Every structure is written in C-alpha cells, then in structure tokens.
C-alpha cells in the first residue's frame, strides 16, 4: 500500500494506517469496517477483544493481522499555561513529540465558554530542512512517520484528555518535520482524520505548515483537499532566508510565492505566513516594509512568532517593543497581522523546540 512507512520491520500492520474504504475491502460485509472505525475513533478503544459488536471470528482476524500498539505514549509534560507535550514511542525504538494547545477560554456572562484546543502534529522523526533557528533538525533526519503514526497522535491525545468524539479540534502540521517532505503519508492522514465515520476533523480545520517545497505546494493545490496552508517565510530577501531556511536555495521566495498565488483557499480564509522574529536579524521596520511589498496581492495573514531560545542557539528573543512596532506598521497598511503567543515554553513545547527524545 502506498504511503506507508517502508522501513517498518513489524509484520503486524498498524490499523490506524488504513482508510475506511481500505478496511472495507479487507473485511466483508463492508459495514464491519464502520463498526471497527467507530471503536477506534469514537470510543478510542485499542483492544480488539473489547469491540463487543464485532464477531469473535473478525476479532481473531484483526488480532492476527493488525496492531493498535505501534505507537505508545512514553511521557506527558504539562505547562503552566495548560499545554501538554506528548512523547510518543514507535515500534522500532524511536520517539517523536506532539503538543496539545489550549487556545483560550472566554467568559460569557457567568459561565466560561468551552476551551478551544489545537493539536500540533509531527510528520517526521527529525527533519531534513535544517532551519538555523529550529532545534528539531539538529538531531538530523531519521524517517517519515506513517499515516497511522500521525493519526495515532490525535487518538491518544483525545483519549488522554477525555474529549468527546464530536468535540471540535484544530489540527496543525507544525510539529517535528516538514509535512510536504512526507507528502503521501500526510495526505493519507488528512483523509483519515477528516473521515465522517472516524475522527471527523474537517479539512478546513487542518493546517499544513511548510518551509516552501514549491512542487509539493503545487501538487497539494491540485488535490484541492480543503486544508489551510501556512508558509514559514521568516525573511524578506533570499540572502537572509537561505541562511535561516536552507531550502530557499532550492526554491527561492519568488518561486514559492508564485506557486502560492494559485493555491486554492476557502473564500472565508487567508493564506498564512509565519514569520519568526529574531533580535537584530529580521525585526527591523525595513523588513516590515519589504514584507508588505512581498505580500501585496495576497489575501494574507501574518503570524509573528517570537524566537524561542534553546540550548546551543546563537539567536536571541526580540523585545516586545520591536515586535509591536513591526505589527503596528503592517496593520496600519492594511495587512492582517497577529503576534502568536508561544505556549509551552517551560516544557520546551513551543515552536522550534521539539525533537526526538528519551523518556527519561
């Protein structure tokens, strides 16, 4: 089956790798697949013996061929801001991280409205891109995650937090790895995540963050999946961006922006541009002016992200004064711009801080 992890030596197949249609072809009649999906994604049951409305014969067949334990939680850390970082272990002895972010809890009269959550998913163990400001790539690239290893992050996190199946969540592919470098598995995972018989997370609530693999952006656009796209821009000229994001040497700013002009987006949405602000590197008003020029003609939103420090980095976090000036300049010229609050800093769960780790 295309898109699965080719390095797997485990003879048991990860059931979370399978779409509903693929399971329906494995088991007849087809409604059996919906029953299995219901147990996996509505009740978060990962023990075939507990699937009580499934026949004993089918349960035996499932146990013989499939596993629900290809991914396990090794460690959970909780931040003072409510964020949780999950360390997952794989069947081949590697690990990767994902983060649950509590976005905000607004007051409505005397009652607090239900908190909104976003899950920041990883798509690879390590990363090939090697951005200068990011810790993830420092350990090098290990391998792609299979679709099931991506989907399992959501299942485990929903189960751990007791989230109801119908609870709305946002998904961002902004964890470890470059999602478009693992194109087939990420696309497959989006399909499984959005299945109405499964987790039912609408594509419009899923965002792919990319450093700018132009051909893959074009390919994703042609699929017209309905997902949102965010470009990790971080610099306004090719000289600086090539230093910060080495991929720029292959696909420069102009090439990537030209492809983005044709990317299909929901009429109610905007293309997102992520801009990590680094002290004395890209936090000046001249950069803000050039950013405004670059994004002219786009229905765009800019997320300003303060650089998150980590061990061994030579970069520094900018002052809030310089960040606010940058933001105010863009807003005053009509470009929607927000300062994105970094969550989970105290547990190294913020943007650019995830990496493969030991559970100890």
Element at 214 (helix H, strand E): helix 214-223
Residues 6+ apart with CB under 8 A from 121: 98, 150, 153, 154, 171, 172, 173, 174, 175
Residue 111 pairs with which residues in a beta bridge? 108
255 annotated active-site: no
Of residues 70, 97, 127, 337, which has the active-site annotation?
Answer: 97
* Helix 214-223 with 253-260: angle, nearest 10 deg: 0
- Whether 95 contacts 359, CB under 8 Å: yes
Beta pairing class for 116-120 and 95-104: antiparallel
**Closest by Cα among 285, 300, 305, 321 to 244:** 305
* Residues 116, 103: Cα–Cα separation, whole Å: 5
- Whether 190 contacts 203, CB under 8 Å: yes
360 annotated active-site: no
Radius of gyration of the chain (CA): 21
Of residues 127, 274, 351, 356, which has the active-site annotation?
Answer: 351
Give the rounded distance of the alpha carbon of 214 from its chain centre: 19
* Residues 153, 166: Cα–Cα separation, whole Å: 17
Catalytic residues: 97, 351
């Amino acid at each position: 089956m295309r898109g699965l992890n080719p390095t797997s030596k485990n003879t048991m197949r990860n059931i979370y790798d399978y779409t509903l249609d693929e399971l329906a072809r494995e088991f007849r009649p087809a409604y059996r697949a919906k029953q299995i999906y219901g147990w996996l994604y509505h009740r978060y049951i990962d023990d075939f013996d507990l699937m009580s409305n499934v026949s004993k014969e089918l349960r035996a067949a499932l146990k013989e061929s499939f596993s629900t334990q290809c991914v396990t939680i090794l460690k959970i850390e909780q931040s003072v801001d409510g964020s949780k970082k999950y360390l997952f272990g794989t069947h081949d002895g590697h690990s990767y991280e994902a983060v649950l972010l509590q976005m905000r809890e607004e007051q409505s009269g005397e009652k607090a409205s239900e908190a909104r959550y976003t899950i920041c998913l990883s798509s690879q163990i390590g990363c090939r891109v090697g951005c200068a400001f990011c810790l993830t790539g420092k350990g090098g690239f290990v391998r792609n995650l299979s679709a099931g290893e991506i989907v399992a992050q959501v299942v485990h996190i929903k189960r751990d937090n007791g989230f109801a199946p119908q609870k709305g969540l946002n998904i961002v592919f902004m964890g470890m790895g470059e999602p478009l470098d693992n194109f087939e598995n990420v696309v497959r995972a989006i399909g499984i995540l959005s299945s109405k018989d499964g987790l039912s997370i609408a594509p419009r609530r899923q965002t792919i963050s990319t450093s700018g693999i132009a051909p893959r952006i074009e390919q994703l656009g042609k699929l017209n999946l309905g997902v949102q796209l965010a470009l990790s821009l971080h610099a306004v000229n090719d000289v600086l961006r090539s230093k910060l994001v080495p991929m720029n040497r292959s696909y420069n700013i102009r090439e990537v922006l030209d492809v983005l002009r044709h990317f299909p987006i929901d009429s109610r949405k905007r293309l997102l541009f992520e801009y990590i602000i680094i002290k004395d590197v890209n936090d000046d008003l001249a950069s803000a002016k050039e950013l405004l020029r670059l994004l002219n003609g786009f229905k765009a939103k800019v997320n300003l992200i303060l650089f998150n420090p980590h061990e061994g980095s030579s970069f520094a976090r900018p002052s809030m004064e310089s960040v606010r000036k940058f933001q105010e300049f863009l807003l005053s010229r009509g470009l929607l711009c927000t300062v994105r609050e970094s969550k989970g800093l105290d547990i190294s769960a913020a943007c650019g801080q995830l990496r493969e780790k030991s559970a100890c």
